[in-house]
């Protein structure tokens, strides 16, 4: 790691560092907010900011599924802090202000409860180096710190308001890092809860002034709407949350909220989620109208994997223990995966793409088929993450990748990264047939 020359964006000067064939600027503050308060843009500074420390992660409970998808803790090396309004920028080496490179803004998943922008699992260095794009990893508030507010004592969608502030910061400052600040060249992309965030923020009137391309990966569309009755139950469980409560107690309270939602599966399995009718989102009845209005200004790539639910089936009551029964266990597993995948993902992603196209937008639908026949997870939820980010130290040996060689992962990853980067560059990404069994894409 070595120092890199100063950059001078409008927010103030900062010093990054070189790492291999990319340059990184990490832990940049984009906003500030007290607990349960709406974020405000960070004030500009005059002293040189040392952008060399990873962004802190929002306080959060343990992620039960992370051990299946990575061999190292997803928060490894990160501090935990409520002051998590930071982002990090990765650019190709030798990039200069004025280069106008395409910009990709990444928002992580984790059921709106866990995750972090600077998790080693989301290091975008390979995509940046291979394809000459700039990637911005943003942080936002999670669980009780960022969601499940009642709209009176606590705003309901603080995590989404954080994301909007981060997007505004990018639009204002990214040119100094060599990025193109024209929203038509900015891609907002995310996976799972991150994909759901992208889809929801598309309905905000301001969206098309912040980004002109969107990649929605494995958004759980099947459980993000019609949540009003569930939210009442969950808000009762969260009733003791207060600005004065220690952060550790708020995290523990998340367990009580999880239990309150467990009686309303599958929707209650994701207790934290954006609430329509609360800023910045329109009422649920007006959501599609908002999405339709912006459709002509935003190009869309949306989709999911064939076997999304296989990551969750082991944790389902009764089903989780039945899948290991000799002879019949595999049939139980496959049936549960098929039904839950259709309940949460298919065909909701196709419906989202078709609505976007009908409203005058460009839309493509993808399906990830990449699987190893000896691995029961198949083309599961998160399967694209080791391909997009290509960090073998994080993902190598993960259970979801068992049966694949490192070379096979690398080859598939290069294909996936090219498709995503081509989309960010405005290139045609329609693919009639699967590329070596990896992915198929159709123009809607």
Check: CB of residue 54 under 8 Å from CB of residue 42. no
- Residue 149: pLDDT over 70: yes
pLDDT of residue 435: 76
Element (H, E) at 325: none
Strand-by-strand arrangement of the 213-217 sheet:
2-3, 17-19, 22-29, 86-92, 134-138, 103-107, 186-191, 213-217, 299-305, 363-368, 439-443
Nearest to 370 by CA among 334, 410, 332: 410
pLDDT of residue 72: 85
pLDDT of residue 44: 98
- Residue 47: pLDDT over 60: yes
CA 341/CA 320 separation, integer angstroms: 15
CA 312/CA 381 separation, integer angstroms: 8
Query: Strand 2-3 to strand 17-19: parallel, antiparallel, or no bridges (unpaired)?
Result: antiparallel
pLDDT of residue 68: 86
Task: Please state whether the peptide bond connecting residue 347 to the residue before it is cis, i.e. omega within 30 degrees of 0.
Answer: yes
Other CB atoms within 10 A of residue 206 CB: 12
HSE at residue 368, side-chain half, CA atoms within 13 A, is: 29
- Residue 432: pLDDT over 70: no
Say which range, 71-80, 135-144, 318-327, 405-414, has the weakest mean pLDDT.
Answer: 318-327
Nearest 5°: phi and psi at 11? -70, -25
Q: What is the pLDDT of residues 49-107, one digit of tens each?
A: 999 999 999 999 988 778 888 888 899 999 999 999 999 999 999 999 999 999 999 99
Name the fold adopted by 2-443: Rossmann fold (3.40.50)
CA 340/CA 116 separation, integer angstroms: 26
Q: What are the boundaries of each domain within the chain?
A: 2-443
pLDDT of residue 1: 52
């Amino acid at each position: 790691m070595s120092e890199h020359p100063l950059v001078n964006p409008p927010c103030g000067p900062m010093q990054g560092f070189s790492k291999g064939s990319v340059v990184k600027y990490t832990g940049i503050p984009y906003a500030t907010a007290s607990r349960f308060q709406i974020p405000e843009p960070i004030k500009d500074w005059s002293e040189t900011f040392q952008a060399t420390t990873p962004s802190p992660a929002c306080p959060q409970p343990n992620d039960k599924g992370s051990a299946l998808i990575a061999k190292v803790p997803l928060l490894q090396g990160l501090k935990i802090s409520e002051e998590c309004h930071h982002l990090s920028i990765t650019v190709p080496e030798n990039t200069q202000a004025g280069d106008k490179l395409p910009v990709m803004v990444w928002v992580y998943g984790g059921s709106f409860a866990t995750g972090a922008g600077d998790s080693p699992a989301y290091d975008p260095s390979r995509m940046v180096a291979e394809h000459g794009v700039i990637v911005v990893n943003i942080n936002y508030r999670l669980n009780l710190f960022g969601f499940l507010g009642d709209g009176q004592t606590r705003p309901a969608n603080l995590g989404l308001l954080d994301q909007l502030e981060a997007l505004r910061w990018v639009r204002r400052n990214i040119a100094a890092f060599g990025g193109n600040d024209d929203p038509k060249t900015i891609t907002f992309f995310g996976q799972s809860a991150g994909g759901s965030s992208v889809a929801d923020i598309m309905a905000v009137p301001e969206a098309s002034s912040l980004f002109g391309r969107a990649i929605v990966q494995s958004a759980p569309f099947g459980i993000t709407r019609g949540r009003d009755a569930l939210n009442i139950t969950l808000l009762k469980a969260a009733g003791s949350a207060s600005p004065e409560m220690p952060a550790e107690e708020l995290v523990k309270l998340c367990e009580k909220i999880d239990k309150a939602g467990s009686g309303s599966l599958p929707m209650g399995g994701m207790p934290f989620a954006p609430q329509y009718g609360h800023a910045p989102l329109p009422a649920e009845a007006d959501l599609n109208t908002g999405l339709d209005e912006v459709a002509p200004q935003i190009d869309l790539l949306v989709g999911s994997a064939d076997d999304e639910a296989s990551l969750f089936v082991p944790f389902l009551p009764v089903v989780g223990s039945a899948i290991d029964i000799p002879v019949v266990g595999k049939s139980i597993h496959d049936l549960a995966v098929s039904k839950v995948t259709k309940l949460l993902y298919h065909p909701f992603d196709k419906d989202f793409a078709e609505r976007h196209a009908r409203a005058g937008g460009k839309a493509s639908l993808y399906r990830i088929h990449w699987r190893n026949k000896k691995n029961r997870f198949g083309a599961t939820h998160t399967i694209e993450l080791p391909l997009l980010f290509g960090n073998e130290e994080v993902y190598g040996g993960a259970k979801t990748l068992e049966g694949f060689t490192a070379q096979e992962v690398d080859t598939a990853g290069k294909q996936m990264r090219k498709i995503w980067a081509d989309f960010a560059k405005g290139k045609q990404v329609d693919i009639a047939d699967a590329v070596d069994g990896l992915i198929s894409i159709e123009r809607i």
